[in-house]
Amino acid sequence: MQTKSPALAVMTFTLLTAPLAHAQGEPTKSASVDLNGDGKPESISLTWDEPKDEFVLKAGNSTIRGGTDGNAPDGFVVVDLDSSDKRKELVVSTGQTDYDKQQHLYAFDGKTLKSIGNVPALTEAKGNGIILSDSWQGFWNRRDKYALDKKGNIIEVPQELYAVGVEATVKQSFPLARNRTDKSAVATLAQGSKIQVLAAAPLGPPGEYLYLVKSATGLLGWATAKDLTGKTEGLPLAG
């Protein structure tokens, strides 16, 4: 993993490891908690199956397995995603970098432990059934919204654009396209001018985007990641 500048590293670490709202304690390998709201605590444990490279999560008499990146999870955390009900959820964190971290979420209905979804990070979970999740995209944090559906599963709430909000200085002139499909230039950025990267539009392949940029003259247009990272300076890039 590449190393970020000290200030940026602190910012990113804070976003991705902030204490969970409505979470109970630090990661643990065992606990006794009422997960389904019936007033009777379940015995919960997390163990590591090294030959299969899987963690084994148990609640009551139910067991579920999950894959990892080869590293045993530190433990599980109990969270309350929806404070309007009596239920609690379990979170197992896997991954070692900003790019491969995943939070695996589970619910127990009194008989069966089931997966209800994964998110990159639980950046904000205030007990209102909504999760805000940040994931690092090279020079900006992508914030995704997830929500509990009527069946208690976590679903992503799609966004057409993602807020970026970083500034840079043009070191080599390049054009801004009129829109995402028309590459005709609406503006040509002057060397030494300041720009604002306002938003990112996902392309087909995961992790690829076009960026909405505001020029120093107040014009809006679209730029590629290649132009931004290769022809500007000042972006908070890792490395």
pLDDT number for residue 24: 58
Same domain for 71 and 171, yes or no, is no
Q: Is the pLDDT of residue 118 over 70?
A: yes
Does residue 54 sit within a domain? yes
Same domain for 144 and 168, yes or no, is no
pLDDT number for residue 98: 74
What's the pLDDT tens digit per position in 49-100?
Answer: 999 999 999 999 999 999 887 789 999 999 999 999 999 999 999 988 777 8
- List the domain range (segments joined by +) for residue 23: 6-157
Does residue 239 sit within a domain? no
Same domain for 149 and 175, yes or no, is no
pLDDT category of residue 192 using cuts at 50, 70 and 90: very high
Same domain for 186 and 221, yes or no, is yes
Does residue 195 sit within a domain? yes
pLDDT category of residue 28 using cuts at 50, 70 and 90: very high
The number of domains in the chain is 2
Does residue 202 sit within a domain? yes
**Predicted model pTM:** 0.84
Same domain for 31 and 144, yes or no, is yes
Same domain for 153 and 209, yes or no, is no
Same domain for 183 and 133, yes or no, is no
Q: Which of 14-23, 102-111, 153-162 has the weakest average pLDDT?
A: 14-23
pLDDT number for residue 23: 56
Q: Which of 157, 177, 201 is the last residue of a domain?
A: 157
Percent of the chain with pLDDT over 70: 89
Same domain for 132 and 148, yes or no, is yes
- For the chain, give the mean pLDDT: 89
Q: Which residue matches tokens 């006794």?
A: 32
Q: Which of 132, 157, 182 is the last residue of a domain?
A: 157
- The three-state DSSP-derived secondary structure of the chain is CCCCCHHHHHHHHHHHHCCCCCEEEEEECEEEECCCCCCCCEEEEEEEECCCCEEEEEECCEEEEEECCCCCCCCEEEECCECCCCCCEEEEEECCCCCCCEEEEEEECCCCEEEEEEECCCCEECCECEEEEEEECCCCEEEEEEEECCCCCEEEECCCCEEEEEEEEECCCEEEECCCCCCCEEEEECCCCEEEEEEEEECCCCCCEEEEEECCCCCEEEEEHHHHHHHEECCCCCC
Nearest to 154 by CA among 115, 121, 126: 115
Does residue 1 sit within a domain? no
Same domain for 63 and 153, yes or no, is yes
Same domain for 99 and 174, yes or no, is no
Q: Is the pLDDT of residue 13 over 60?
A: no
35, 76 in Cβ contact below 8 A? no
Same domain for 112 and 219, yes or no, is no
Does residue 62 sit within a domain? yes
Q: Which of 128, 157, 186 is the last residue of a domain?
A: 157
Same domain for 25 and 131, yes or no, is yes
